[in-house]
């Protein structure tokens, strides 16, 4: 009886454990730093210089920033370099709307890509100049 109980418990544990968390993948991602909410909801201008101020507010307010690549994919950034305590950091507030290349670990779940950035490998600054399309004064007055 005890042996059978042991077998059942072991089986239950294995079923509950499953395969464990998926392995992370080392990646380099290049794209524009955007605030995830505005970009996904498509409100306002949501990209480039026309959206820069809003993007900074969102990042400073705690919305996870994403890197939007040229193929339209979003990588939600959950950590940047040594800042493990927040989804955003001073670094990311400063480089909002910039085109960057970052190295990091990619975790993908239910179609959402999460990125743990270990290093900002390249920062080209703001290259998506959308402000003239919307009559916006970029970076405030």
Partner 1 sequence: MTRRRGMQRSIPVLTALVAGLLLLTASARANEDPLAKRFGGPFELTASSGQRVSDVSLHGRLLLISFGYTHCPDICPTTLVLMTEALEKLGPSGDAIQPIFITVDPQRDTPTQLAAFARSFHPRLLMLTGTETEIASVAKAYRVHRHKFLFPGQSATDVNYGVDHGSLMYLMGVDGRFLTLIPYGATAERIAEVLRRYAVTRAGP
Site mask, partner 1, residues 11-50, x = CB under 8 A?
Answer: -xx--xxx-xxx-x-----------xx--xx---------
> Which of 29, 33, 34, 78 contacts partner 1 by CB under 8 A?
78
Residue 13 or 125 with smaller CB distance to partner 1? 13
Where b means 16+ CB within 10 Å and e means fewer, 117-129 reads beebeeeeebebe
Q: Are 30 and 100 in contact (CB under 8 A)?
A: yes
Q: What is the DSSP string of 86-140?
A: -SS-HHHHHTTTEEEEEEEEEEEETTEEEEEEEEEEEEEEE----HHHHT--TT-
Q: Which helix (H) or strand (E) holds 75?
A: strand 74-80
> Which of 3, 5, 82, 141 contacts partner 1 by CB under 8 A?
5
Site for partner 1 contains 109 (CB under 8 A): yes
Site for partner 1 contains 106 (CB under 8 A): no
Which residues of the chain form contacts with partner 1 (CB under 8 A)? Answer: 1, 5, 8-9, 12-13, 16-18, 20-22, 24, 36-37, 40-41, 57-58, 61-64, 74, 76, 78, 87-88, 105, 107, 109-112, 114, 116
């Amino acid at each position: 009886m005890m042996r059978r109980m042991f077998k059942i418990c072991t089986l239950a544990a294995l079923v509950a454990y499953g395969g464990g968390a998926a392995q992370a993948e080392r990646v380099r991602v290049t794209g524009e730093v955007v605030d995830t909410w505005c970009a996904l909801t498509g409100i306002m201008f949501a990209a480039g210089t026309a959206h820069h101020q809003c993007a900074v507010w969102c990042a400073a307010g705690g919305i996870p920033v994403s890197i939007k690549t040229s193929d339209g994919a979003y990588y939600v950034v959950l950590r940047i370099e040594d800042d493990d305590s927040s989804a955003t950091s001073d670094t990311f507030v400063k480089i909002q709307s910039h085109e960057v290349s970052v190295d990091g670990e990619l975790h993908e779940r239910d179609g959402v890509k999460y990125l743990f950035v270990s290093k900002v490998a390249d920062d080209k600054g703001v290259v998506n100049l959308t402000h003239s399309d919307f009559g916006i004064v970029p970076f405030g007055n």
